[in-house]
Amino acid sequence: MRIRAIIYDHLVKYFFIGILLTSCCLSSRAQDNNLVAIGNQIGVPSEIKMSELKAVFHGERQRWGNGTKVIIAMIKTTTPLGNEISEKIYSKNGEEVRGFWAGIMFAGKFDAPNVFNTEAEVETFVSQNPGAIAIIDKVVTTADIKTILVGGKKTF
């Protein structure tokens, strides 16, 4: 009888641990944002494929189709949004993305991305710099910024 009680106690304990772990995983997935690519009205295309967006953010594209220089604006990778962008665009965590860009800049292949603390700062920068592109977590509706369709969709 005592063994059954011990087994029952363990089953109950592990059942609740399983429920707790499952709820933690579900709540962390619920925090995933729909990301939005934004760009300055000048130079940046209105639509882009996901592979092209990744190529831009990997420093593989220097100029847009009309000759305007590509300028990357990013939220700090140490923020939750910056880390999520790092994972979706680079398949790396924030620290690995910083290392990636350090290597690109050291090799002289591309100018450093412009890094900001907030989305408002990113939006201001993009609105004031022809060719600027960024990723945030909301659709922007201002005259100087356009939402770039990625694979035909506003969010990805």
Which of the four CATH numbers 3.40.190.10, 3.30.470.10, 1.10.10.10, 1.10.1740.10 does domain 36-150 have? 3.40.190.10
Which tens digits make up the pLDDT trace of 10-34?
A: 444 544 444 434 434 433 433 456 9
Which tens digits make up the pLDDT trace of 22-70?
A: 434 433 433 456 999 999 999 999 999 999 999 999 999 999 999 999 9
Between CA 53 and CA 59, with CA 55 as vertex, the angle to 5 degrees is: 115
Is pTM beyond 0.75? Reply is yes
CA distances from 39 to 31, 92, 142, 153 (A): 25, 23, 11, 15
Q: Name the residue ranges covered by the structural domains of the chain.
A: 1-31, 36-150
